[in-house]
Amino acid sequence: MSYKVFLSPTKNINPTPKRYEIVSIPCFNKEAKYLVDQLKTKTTNELVELMHISKDLANLTYERFQNWKMNPENALSFHAITMYAGEAFKAFDFESIERNNYMKLQHNLFILSGLYGILKPFDIVSPYRLEIGLPFAPSNLKKNLYVFWQEKIHQFLTLNLVENDVLVNLASQEYAKVLDFKNLGFRTITPIFKEYNDGNYKMVMMYAKNARGKMARYILDNDVQNDEDLKRFQVDGYSFDEKYSSHSEWLFVR
């Protein structure tokens, strides 16, 4: 049994991502190019409207789509695990992982993506911005990116995982919807992190994102092999609350 971790990408991109000796190619590079070819035709004003972003950010996004490349030798491409710079990835702290754990990381962590579908940590990607929940329909062949990616990701997981693998969903709700848990055929655990305040437990998004990254790292560092190992997660004062947890949703509180 192996516990596979899922994270969602971030809007924030690391300005100085690094390259390492391990290089892999995204499984859906051709599909990503198909999407980029259509996004390249959009003006900055259209990107502002589609993505609800500022004109300056739209200009940067436009430039990134124009410069996007499939070629792993492209100087503007980097490893997925080093490129995303959101709270969960900061908490995961890839830079401190020992090199002898790189292949374990490569086989056990997956990053969902609106542009690439699903990524392994050392897949080479170009900087981009494309949230999976945007009302973007490629060539009007699919009504949205969830429909575009769902079956493809399902097939990827069927080919890359074994029957008794457990999926630990540490992705945001926006991205987790693409996984279609009921029909995946794999057992799934979704950890939920809440804070005690004024007599109630509430989710604080910044803290939850940080905890997702730290749990992903905990699973890697401790080579989690069973549920009891995962329930022992107590980083930053969180502890498993069995009373308010279900088979598929586990509550961690502090």
pTM: 0.94
Q: Which of 57, 60, 68, 62 is nearest to 43 (CA)?
A: 62
**pLDDT confidence of residue 140:** 63
- Who contacts 205 (Cβ-Cβ below 8 Å, separation ≥6)? none
| C-alpha–C-alpha distance, residues 190 and 172, integer Å | 10
**pLDDT confidence of residue 143:** 82
pLDDT digits (tens, 9 = 90+) for 193-231: 999 888 889 999 999 999 999 999 999 999 999 999 999
Contact in structure between 82 and 23 (CB atoms under 8 Å): no
End-to-end CA distance of the chain: 29
| C-alpha–C-alpha distance, residues 46 and 60, integer Å | 13
The interaxial angle of helices 44-51 and 55-67, nearest 10 deg, is 110
Which residues in the chain land under pLDDT 70?
Answer: 72-75, 140-142
**pLDDT confidence of residue 106:** 96
**pLDDT confidence of residue 18:** 78
**pLDDT confidence of residue 142:** 66
**DSSP letter string, 223-245:** T--SHHHHHT--GGG-EEESTT-
H and E: helices and strands count for the chain: 11, 10
